[in-house]
Amino acid sequence: MAMKRERSPSPKPTTEIYLSSAIQEQTSTFKAAFSPNLSAKALQTLPEFRTATHKIAAWRKPSRQKSLMPESRTLYDLGHDDDGEKWAGGRLSNVLRDTQTEGVVVVARWYGGQNIGPIRFTHIENSAKEAIWKWKVADTEIKKEQATKKQRVDEEAKREELVKNLQERDYNIFALRKLLSQKKAQLQDEEPAPPTPQKMQDYGKMTMDALTRVDKARDATIAFILKQIDKIDEELKLVEALEDGTQGAEEEGKAGEEKPSTPK
């Protein structure tokens, strides 16, 4: 019986969680957590929040559905959980929307028994903003590192391609010089001189700037040799035409000498 092939493991999503600093207001404490991919439930059950009185949550994640009118744009799955702190979840939803953030944010409040009034909403929002800001700073650094790594990879690929092209140009230059030598010998009716052995150039130690300069120099060399070959080809054609003309005149002369004279 054929064995069923195991499915390739899916890449594990990053589980980084970004925490704000704690805010104290009389007997209440506020602290936020943000994640770009974990669920609200996962953040609400963090060990750090186990003893919290309220665990307010909000989420904003790309929907699988797409808007077609007036133009294609991303739709979002939105939601929030007040967890007993009335209107607080809506405040967190506004923070995600205003900062154009995709992910989940949870703010834990430890209520100490003393009412602090509307200032609690300010602390809830500021805690969320700090956690989101920490993620954005880290995300920016990650993207910079990825961009730098990609740039290095692209430059190395470009360098390898340039080295390969230069090696091919060196071979072409050697072949063209050999051809030029043969044509010169043909023009002068001589035996062509044996080609000078080609010395392999080590391009591996050169900088990218140096490789680029050599690449331009090789192009100029090839263009110069091709121009010389074209010039000799023109001279060879001229010599061939002259030889054909001379040979034709000689044949006509011989034909005139051999033709018997007509008696008068």
- Which residues, 6 or more positions from 98, have their beta carbon under 8 angstroms from its beta carbon? none
Neighbour tally for 18: CB within 10 Å: 21
Neighbour tally for 81: CB within 10 Å: 19
Contact 126, 23 (CB under 8 A): yes
Q: Does a structural domain hold residue 256?
A: no
Cα separation, 123 vs 107, in Å, equals 9
- How far the first Cα of the chain sits from its last, in Å, is 113
- Give residue 9's pLDDT: 42
- Give residue 2's pLDDT: 38
Q: Does a structural domain hold residue 231?
A: no
Q: Does a structural domain hold residue 40?
A: yes
Structural domains of the chain, count: 1
- Give residue 257's pLDDT: 61
Give the alpha-carbon dihedral of 160, 166, 168, 174, to 10 degrees.
-160
- Which residues, 6 or more positions from 187, have their beta carbon under 8 angstroms from its beta carbon? 232, 235, 236, 239
Q: Does a structural domain hold residue 186?
A: no
- Give residue 228's pLDDT: 92
CATH number of the domain to which 32 belongs:
3.30.230.30
- Give residue 119's pLDDT: 97
Q: Does a structural domain hold residue 138?
A: yes
- Give residue 32's pLDDT: 98
- Give residue 6's pLDDT: 42
Cα separation, 116 vs 261, in Å, equals 140
Q: Does a structural domain hold residue 66?
A: yes
Q: Does a structural domain hold residue 184?
A: no
In the predicted model, residues of the chain with pLDDT beneath 50 are 1-14
What pTM was estimated for this model as a whole? 0.62
Give residue-wise pLDDT tens across range 201-212. Answer: 888 888 889 889
* β-bridge mates for residue 60, sequence order: 78, 103
Q: Does a structural domain hold residue 223?
A: no
- Domain membership of residue 90 as a residue range: 18-143
